[in-house]
Amino acid sequence: MQNLGTLPQYTYSEGYGVSADGNRVTGTAYYVIPYGGSERAFLWISGSGMRDIGNMSGGSPVNTALAISGDGSTIVGWGLEGLERRAFRWTSSTGMVSLGTLGGNESRANAASCDGRVVVGWSNNHLGERWAFYWTRATGMQGLFPLSACCGEANGVSENGLVIVGRSHSFQTESWHACMWAWDGYGYTVSDLGTLGGNESVAFGCTNNREVVGWAHTATGARRAFRWTPTGGMENLSETFARLLGPGSYLEIAYAITPDGRYIVGQGYNAARSRTEAFLLDTRCTAHNGDVDNSGCVDDADLLAVLFAFGNTGQDLGGVDTNCDGTVDDADLLQVLFSFGSGC
C-alpha cells in the first residue's frame, strides 16, 4: 500500500478514481476549519506525486474530482462557477472546463469512458428537474430520456462509451429504478432493469457487454447488491454467492465491475464482525468439497441443492457446480456424497 498524502495546507484527502494501470489517482483534498472549509480536486501521478488541477476559468477554487478515465487522460467531477455547481472535464491540455447544464443551475459529472471522450452525470433543467446526461466534444451536453416524463441520473459508463447506467424515476411505480441507456446506432435507448421484488434500485457500474451492478430493494425492503445481465436479468448477489458468505452476512451495494465482468466491488455486512465492510467478489466458480451453502457442514441441504439443480448448465450456477465445469451432473453429486458429514 502507498500513502498518497494530501495537498499543501489541506487537512486530508480521499481518492475516488484510478487509471487502468494504477499510475494515476484522482480525488479531493479537504481543508477543514471551524464553521467551514474547502475542497480541491487533485491528480496524483506515480513518481511525481500529488498536484492541484486548478479550477474553471473565472470559477471558484472549490471543486471535487469524482472519476478518471481508464487511460488516465481525463478527470471529471464538479466545481463552483460563481456560486453554482457545474460538471467539469479536465485534461492536461484543456485544463478544467465547465460542461454547462441542461438549462438549470446545477450539474455534476460522475464518470468517463476509457478514452475520456464520453462523460456522464446529471444536470438540472430549466424546470429544476434532475436529468441524466452524456457529453461528447461533438454534441456537448445532451439529456438522456428517462423511463417516464422525468427524471434521471447517470452514474457509470462502459469503457467504449456505448452503455450508460444510473437510475430514472418511473411514474408507473412512483419510484426510482436502475436503468441502462444503450447506444443503438442513432442514440441512447433506455431500459428499466427492475428490482429484486421491492420498490427501488440504482445502477453504478457496467461493462461493454451490458453487465450492470448496483443495489436494489427486495420484497421485504432490504437493500441488496445486484448484478444484471442481458440473458439472466437481475440477480441478488447475496443469494448467488451465498456459499461465500457467513451466516447472517450479505452484500449490500455493488459499486463497480471490471471490464471483463469477473470482479465486483462494493460494501456488505459481515455478521461475524458486526460491521459494514468493503468487499471484492470474484464471480468465477471456485471448486469445493460439496458444502454448497457454505454452512461448514456437508449435509442434506447441500445434497438437495445439487439434486434440484441437476442437469443445469451455465457459467453462474453457484455452489451446486462443485467442480466448476459448467454443468451440475454426476460428478457434483458424487462430490457431495463422498464428503457427506464433513464438518458437521
Note the pLDDT tens digit of each residue in 184-202.
999 999 999 999 999 999 9
Give residue-wise pLDDT tens across range 91-117.
Answer: 999 999 999 999 999 999 999 999 999
Residue 299 within any structural domain of the chain: yes
Q: Return the ∠ at Cα 319 (arms to 318 and 320), rounded to 5°.
A: 95
Strand order in the sheet with 212-218: 197-206, 212-218, 223-229, 233-236
* Residue 18 scores a pLDDT above 90: yes
The whole-number pLDDT of residue 64 equals: 96
| Mean pLDDT along residues 143-156 | 94
More confident residue, 62 or 238: 238
Q: Which domain holds residue 318?
A: 289-344
Distance CA 132, CA 124 (A): 9
The three grid cell numbers given for residue 65, joined into one nine-digit string: 474530482
Query: Quick one: what percent of the chain has pLDDT higher than 70?
Result: 99
Question: pLDDT higher for 285 or 319?
Answer: 319
Residue 261: left (phi > 0), alpha (psi -120 to 50), or beta? left
Residue 131: inside a domain: no
Whether residue 124 is contained in a domain is answered as: no
Q: Is residue 216 part of a domain?
A: yes
Query: What per-residue confidence (pLDDT) applies to 148?
Result: 86
When the pLDDT of each residue in the chain is averaged and rounded to a whole number, the result is 93
Domain count, the chain: 3
pLDDT exceeds 80 at position 59: no
Q: Both 269 and 149 in a single domain?
A: yes
Same domain, 203 and 222: yes
148 and 274 both lie in a single domain? yes
The per-residue pLDDT for 44 is 96
pLDDT at position 36? 64
Note the pLDDT of residue 128. Answer: 94
The confidence score (pLDDT) of residue 334 equals 93
Q: 68 CB contacts (<8 Å, ≥6 apart)?
A: 17, 18, 19, 24, 25, 26, 43, 74, 75, 76, 112
Q: pLDDT tens-digit profile of 302-342?
A: 999 999 999 999 877 878 998 988 899 999 999 999 999 99
Reported as a pLDDT band with limits 50, 70 and 90, residue 41 is very high
> Do 9 and 87 belong to one domain?
yes
| pLDDT score, position 35 | 65
Which of 31-35, 38-42, 168-172, 300-304 is least confident? Answer: 31-35
Q: What is the pLDDT of residue 295?
A: 81
In a domain, 298, yes or no: yes
43 pairs with which residues across the strands?
26, 51
Burial grade of 220 (CB within 10 A; 0-12, 13-18, 19 or more): exposed
If asked whether residues 33 and 94 sit together in one domain, one would say yes
Both 163 and 217 in one domain: the answer is: yes
Kindly tell me if the per-residue pLDDT of 241 is higher than 80: yes
Q: Are 260 and 209 in contact (CB under 8 A)?
A: no
| Lowest-confidence pick of 60-69, 80-89, 206-215, 277-286 | 277-286
Q: What pLDDT is stored for residue 197 in this prediction?
A: 97
C-alpha cell at 197: 421484488
Mark whether 80 and 104 lie in a shared domain: yes
Residue 120 counted as domain residue: no
Residue 297 lies in a domain: yes
Confidence of residue 77 (pLDDT cuts 50, 70, 90): very high
What confidence tens digit (pLDDT) does each residue in 202-240 have?
A: 999 999 999 999 999 999 999 999 999 999 999 999 998
What is the identity of the amino acid at 30?
Y
